[in-house]
Amino acid sequence: MNILFIGKYPPIEGGTASTAYWRHKGLLKYGINFEIITCILNDSDYCIPKYNCNKNVHVLFERMSWHIPYSQLYAEQLISLALKIAKNKEFDAIEGSYLFPYGFAAFIVAKILDKPLILRHAGSDLHRIVSTGKFDDVVREMANSAKIIVTYKDCEYIWKRIDTNVRLYFTERYVPNTTFFCDDEKGQNAVFLGKITEKWNRNQFDYFLSGLKGRQYYGAISVYSNNYTVSAFKDYFEKKEFIVKPYSFIDPEDVPSVLKKAKYVLLSEIPSGILEESNLFSEAVKCGCEVICAGEHRMPRIAYDEYVQQQIKIYEEIVN
């Protein structure tokens, strides 16, 4: 089965992109193949540096030339590239992962190519954009065109508000592959993987500090992030006589080795009002790390093999 996937994917940093990476890696052995289209400016703070994309990953890196009104025209670029790729390869379905601009682009491409549409969402796109009600009409059109909307039970009420007849498929958000995320070696350091934004609750630093001191840890903190985040960690922790070791964002394949060498993982809390779970929490626990986080997280309710079977059923649906 060949799927044209339009969505967040490495070299984009973040949970939605890494979830797609690990999901595709697990499904490949079952004969589900993906041609991937994504977009991020190569000078973006959230672009993984020196990421080596496989030949099936197509990334829109370059900034658009100036025009009126100025924008990056991401949806239009994604659609154009998808149609170009589809001229040389037959696809069984179009998948949009993250509703705007990716899901919208997939919606248009699926209509043009007359292919089944799979829609996936994350937390921020559904709760920060869709829940405003400003996009109800276009989201309703997208939802009604989709053969399957991949969602989660705690998000059902939002979709039902948009349209009671949408075709929902409930799955676990993410389950780490225990072949890669396992407790087979253990280090003694503390790590932070992620990013700090302007809205990031800085009181979390106090919680991190208290958690580390409460565990009698006074060693180095390795921060895998962008310059803004590294600077924020340095400004706070070096005044407390901790050493902060800066590293760039890393690709998902390298995360297991970092976690296996860590004892403590400093984890951001989920922003208020967002129904989401942290990939890193379950990955860290599987690797035997102690997680220090001001907010609550939960482990997946199912095992990895069951999660993969959930995903396989999504693609089986489109050919039935």
The rounded distance, in Å, linking the Cα atoms of 103 and 194 is 24
| % of the chain with per-residue pLDDT over 70 | 100
**pLDDT per residue over 102-142, tens digit each?**
999 999 999 999 999 999 999 888 888 877 788 989 999 99
Domain ranges of the chain: 2-175+303-318, 189-292
**The predicted structure's pLDDT at residue 130:** 79
| % of the chain with per-residue pLDDT over 90 | 81
Same fold, 2-175+303-318 and 189-292: yes
| Alpha-helical regions (H) of the chain | 15-28, 74-86, 104-113, 124, 136-145, 156-162, 203-214, 227-237, 255-260, 279-286, 304-318
Peptide bond into 256 cis (omega under 30): no
Q: For residues 242 and 220, is the Cβ–Cβ distance under 8 A?
A: yes
Q: Which of 320, 312, 278 lies closest to 28, judged by CA?
A: 312
Q: Which range (31-35, 39-43, 145-149, 182-186) has the least confidence?
A: 182-186
| DSSP β-bridge partners for residue 150 | 120, 169
Q: For residues 99 and 130, is the Cβ–Cβ distance under 8 A?
A: yes
**pLDDT per residue over 212-248, tens digit each?**
999 999 999 999 999 999 999 999 999 999 999 999 9
**The predicted structure's pLDDT at residue 304:** 97
Q: Sheet containing 93-97: which strands, arranged edge to edge? A: 57-60, 33-39, 2-7, 93-97, 117-120, 148-151, 168-170
Domain 189-292 fold: Rossmann fold (3.40.50)
**The predicted structure's pLDDT at residue 317:** 87
CA 222 from centre of chain: 22
**The predicted structure's pLDDT at residue 131:** 72
Q: Which CATH class is domain 2-175+303-318?
A: alpha beta
**The predicted structure's pLDDT at residue 52:** 87
What pTM was computed for the model? 0.93
